[in-house]
Every structure is written in C-alpha cells, then in structure tokens.
Amino acid sequence: MSSDLLLWLALGAAALFIVNARQQRERVLLLAQALQPYQVERLMQALIEGYLRAMGEHDAARRSQVLATLQASEAQLCEQLQRLAQDAQRMPAAQARISRLAFGLPWSAQLPPALAFDLRHALALHAGGIARAIGNGAGLSERDRAYMVTAELLLLQHTCHWYCKSRNVASARLLARHRTAWAQVIAAVGEPTRRAYLALITGQASTGR
C-alpha cells in the first residue's frame, strides 16, 4: 500500500472522527435541552442510590423505612417522565433517530429506518415501564420491586447514552458506573418493557409500545 493512499485513509478517518464528535455534541445538547425543564436526572440518581441502600438492608423494617422515604421521588419521577415523553413527540424525526449499529457513525440522522429506531418511542416505552414497576401491579416483594425499578432506570439511562454516543459507549458506561452489563439490565426489567424494548431496537415494532 502506497504512502499516499495511507495518508488519504488517515485523513478520511480523521475527518469522520471530527464530524462524528461534532454531531454527538449536538445530540448531547438536544437531549440536555429536552431534559432541562425537568429534574429527571437528579430524581433517577436519588432513587437508584436509595434502592441500592434498601436492597442492602437485611432488616425488613429498616428496608421498608428506607423505601418509604423514596415514595415522593417515585411519584415525581413518574409524572415528569410522562411529560418528557409527551414533549419529545414534538422532536423532528431526523433528530430522534438512534443508530442500531453498535458503534458511533456520522450522519446517523440520515440512516434508513431499518438501521435506526426512534428516541420518542423509546422514551414513551421507558416512562411506561418505570411507572408499571413503581406501581408494582405484579405484587413483587419490596426487594424485588426495588431491583426491577432500578433495572428500568438503568435501561432508560442506557438509551440516553446510546442516543448521545453509541450502543457500545452506553454499555461501557453502564458497566463502569454500575458494574452491570446491558444484557443483565434487559433481563431484570419487567416483561412488558423487555418485550417492547427488544422489538424496538431490533426493528420488529413501529412504535415500541
């Protein structure tokens, strides 16, 4: 391979990297703007930490006490996620596309539907899944309910990172921050969430609901 060809390949790779980084910054800004009116990130963090603390309690009375302190935050988060999902419907389709590819790619807004899914549908899916888990219609124990809600929250967080960066980056952040693999989170969410989520990210559903 000639040195000229190597140079052009290197320049092309650098250009793609720069364009991809710029577009990822734009997507981070778009998501930040969508989240700005809400306290979703703060509430999610408080609940994840609270659930982990509760699940670490061996005394049932103490565990119930910890979980009781989270009820107001749970209600507030459910309400804000529903509003966020409704607000997101006004986002242009091109801005809402998330690449199904594992790695970051420039111009993902121009990807055909077969290679992308829709953030708007994902947010509606997550809002519904978190509300169901918190409502505990399945009648789970306190520990199991806390575990499921935590998984639902982590899956939403993964989707947000996937939208801003890529699936690989989102999975790496999940593993680094929570020592949990993406597959483990999917396995731990409620069955309706898991079924709709897998259909959405694989292209087997048009709405993801």
Q: What is the pLDDT of residues 113-139, one digit of tens each?
A: 778 899 999 999 999 999 999 999 999
Rounded CA separation 88/110 (Å)? 19
Prediction pTM value: 0.86
pLDDT at 29 over 80: yes
pLDDT at 209 over 60: no
pLDDT at 206 over 70: no
Residue 207 forms part of a structural domain: no
Structural domain of residue 28, as residue ranges?
A: 3-202
Residue 92 forms part of a structural domain: yes
Single out the residue of 168, 167, 132 nearest to residue 151, CA to CA: 132
Residue 11 forms part of a structural domain: yes
Q: Give the other-Cβ count within 10 Å of 110's Cβ.
A: 10
Q: How many domains does the chain have?
A: 1
Q: What is the 3-state secondary structure (H, E, C) of the chain?
A: CCHHHHHHHHHHHHHHHHHHHHHHHHHHHHHHHHHCCCCHHHHHHHHHHHHHHHHCCCCHHHHHHHHHCCHHHHHHHHHHHHHHHHHHCCCCHHHHEEECCCCCCCCHHHCCHHHEEEHHHHHHHHHHHHHHHHHCCCCCCHHHHHHHHHHHHHHHHHHHHHHHCCHHHHHHHHHHHHCCCHHHHHHHCCHHHHHHHHHHHHCCCCCCC
Residue 61 forms part of a structural domain: yes
Q: What percent of the chain has pLDDT over 90?
A: 67
Residue 142 forms part of a structural domain: yes
Residue 94 forms part of a structural domain: yes
Q: What is the mean pLDDT of residues 61-87?
A: 96
Q: Give the other-Cβ count within 10 Å of 8's Cβ.
A: 11
Q: What does the block give as tokens for 131?
A: 């509300």
Single out the residue of 137, 173, 182 nearest to residue 155, CA to CA: 182
Residue 208 forms part of a structural domain: no
**Maximum mean pLDDT: which of 7-11, 49-53, 106-110:** 49-53
Residue 209 forms part of a structural domain: no
b/e code 162-175 from CB counts within 10 Å (16+ = b):
bbbbbbebbbeebe
